Chains A and B, each alone.
Chain A
Amino acid sequence: MTPSDFLPVWIALGAIPGALSRYYLTLLCAQRFDGDFPFGTFLINLSGAFLMGFLTTELQKISTEQWLNGFATIGFLGAYTTFSTFALDFSNLLKLGNTRRALLYGLGSPLGGFLAVEMGIALAQHL
């Protein structure tokens, strides 16, 4: 028996802190920043994308252990970042009639997330 035999358990263990940090960070950002721009989900998705690029590249170098990958990327980062809230936020911004903010969020998230992943990969390759 190796730790990787319990992959679903590791995914579950990663998903709990991932979802909880998303929830509390969103609350914190809503308190800090006024207005209807969803800074919380925006920052979470960008930082999660950065970590995803960094960790997957780094993990490929140091270990091939499945459990570590399940815990950190499938579990934690998968639960920390969210696509459904991003789509809902975007839809709500459009409904409020704030086209500029809606476009900034709707285009900024995928573009920023893409740059963040590439930066994470580049940083891990440099280390």
Chain B
Amino acid sequence: MLRQPAVRTVIAISLGAIAGALCRYYLGLGIGHLLGTPIPYGTLVVNITGCFAMGLLATLSLGQVISFHPDLRLLLLTGFLGSYTTFSSYELDSAKLLSEKDLQADLIYWTGSVLLGFISLQLGIALSEWILKKLDRDWLS
């Protein structure tokens, strides 16, 4: 059964998704306990770290030096990172902050998530390009 690509796809995504969602939940709980501030740092930290990992792994897996098995790519990118980061909680948190009339925190959170997510993704891409270049050079020499 495991030889069928369709079955392996479903299993890879499911395993990644379970780990991703549970990491998001427990990290959110932990951060919520540490910082009891109006800004929902849990979702913010999850989304920013997830974007960094996405930039890193998506670029690494497309490089020619390191090869990722397609199932591993599905498990890590589609399953784990897709499920670890979340868009719906981000928008719900924003709506909640707005309904609490905390306009400043709302704007910081709403725009900050997108900006910081984008920046951390670029950092992840830059790091993996550096790793790929270094590996490439070490291999050639």
Contact = CB atoms under 8 A, between A and B. Distances in A.
Nearest to A86: B87
Contact of A83 (B25, B47, B92): B47
Contacts of B85: 82-85
Question: Taking chain B's interface residues, is the majority helix, strand, or loop, or is none over half, making it mixed?
Answer: helix
Interface residues of B, number: 44
Nearest to B10: A20
For the complex, would chain A's binding face be called helix, strand, loop or mixed by DSSP majority?
A: helix
Contact of B94 (A8, A88, A117): A117
A52 B92 contact: yes
A81 B81 CA distance: 11
Interface string B73-112: 0100011011111111111101100000000000000100
B40 interface: no
A109 B25 CA distance: 23
Given A15-B20, A19-B78, A84 B88 contact: no
A79 B25 CA distance: 11
A12 B117 contact: no
Contacts of B9: 23
Interface string A84-120: 1111101100000000000000100110011011100
Interface of B: 9-10, 13-14, 16-18, 20-22, 24-25, 47, 50-51, 53-55, 58, 74, 78-79, 81-92, 94-95, 110, 113-114, 117-118, 121-122, 125
Q: Identify the 6 closest CB pairs spanning chains A and B, nearest first.
A: A19-B17, A15-B21, A81-B87, A79-B83, A52-B88, A84-B54
Interface of A: 8, 11-12, 14-16, 18-20, 22-23, 45, 48-49, 51-53, 56, 70, 73-75, 77-88, 90-91, 106, 109-110, 113-114, 116-118, 121
